[in-house]
Chain A
Amino acid sequence: AQRVTQPEKLLSVFKGAPVELKCNYSYSGSPELFWYVQYSRQRLQLLLRHISRESIKGFTADLNKGETSFHLKKPFAQEEDSAMYYCALRGNTPLVFGKGTRLSVIA
């Protein structure tokens, strides 16, 4: 079975502080992992794909197969980063999403 766990429902950080949003997954095969962001009452937008190893809006995420994790990181949080963040896994079925973490960046 495919499962994504985001242990934190809410994460509050001060502007300029580092951010790490945790994501752990369960899948026996080779997963495709994604981070999506949802700003207030808007559509989900693709933020990162593990396969591309890119940095978007200062965010990065590294797939750690040993720890089955795909944590999202940013060295310096900005107020505009406040949003819901969803980790998603695609194995042998369509995307399965975690419950999401609400990031609140405090000025």
Chain B
Amino acid sequence: DAGVIQSPRHEVTEMGQEVTLRCKPISGHNSLFWYRQTMMRGLELLIYFNNNVPIDDSGMPEDRFSAKMPNASFSTLKIQPSEPRDSAVYFCASSRPPTNYGYTFGSGTRLTVV
């Protein structure tokens, strides 16, 4: 199993540009999570899906952020327009029942907005 796959690993973009982060969860995992990691705030949950359906997006900081999961093997997190304060590492994670197995994380996307 290749684990949770995220792309790109690094993204540098100019303020105002659209950014799309991608995630492929582990096959058979029915829950998918997007977290953001910063020095100041640590790991914050942005949104999560169960069976491709968004369950809670209360962690999405602004309307500039959106996420989709069109099928069980793919999810995107989009920022439009991007701002310098969006610079962070964005992690995708997936899990399967029972949840006490924990989550498996991807390698993350390091986003820098200049």
Interface residues of A (CB under 8 A from B): 32, 34, 36, 42-46, 49, 51, 86, 88, 90, 93-100
14 contacting pairs across A/B (C-beta < 8 A): A36-B102, A43-B105, A43-B108, A44-B93, A44-B105, A45-B105, A46-B102, A49-B101, A86-B43, A90-B100, A94-B56, A96-B45, A97-B43, A99-B42
Q: Is the CB of B100 within 8 A of A95?
A: no
B87 vs chain A, min Cβ distance (A) = 15
**A residues in contact with B48, CB < 8 Å:** 94
Q: Is the CB of A32 within 8 A of B100?
A: yes
B103 vs chain A, min Cβ distance (A) = 6
A19 to B77, CA, bound (A): 38
Interface residues of B (CB under 8 A from A): 31, 33, 35, 42-43, 45, 48, 56, 91, 93, 99-108
- Measured CB to CB, the nearest residue on chain B to A4 is B42
**A residues in contact with B43, CB < 8 Å:** 44, 86, 97, 100
Which of B31, B99, B104 meets A32, CB within 8 Å? B99
Which of A42, A44, A46, A94 meets B45, CB within 8 Å? A94
**B residues in contact with A98, CB < 8 Å:** 42
Q: Is the CB of B104 within 8 A of A46?
A: yes
A30 to B93, CA, bound (A): 23
B110 vs chain A, min Cβ distance (A) = 8
Q: Is the CB of A42 within 8 A of B107?
A: yes
**A residues in contact with B100, CB < 8 Å:** 32, 49, 51, 90
Instruction: Select the residue from B35, B42, B56, B102 with max chain A CB neighbours within 10 A.
Output: B102
Q: Assuming A49-B102, A94-B48, is B91 touching A44 (CB within 8 A)?
A: yes
**B residues in contact with A96, CB < 8 Å:** 45
- Measured CB to CB, the nearest residue on chain B to A52 is B100
Q: Is the CB of B56 within 8 A of A43?
A: no
Which of B103, B106, B107 meets A95, CB within 8 Å? B103
- Measured CB to CB, the nearest residue on chain A to B55 is A94
**A residues in contact with B31, CB < 8 Å:** 94
**A residues in contact with B93, CB < 8 Å:** 44
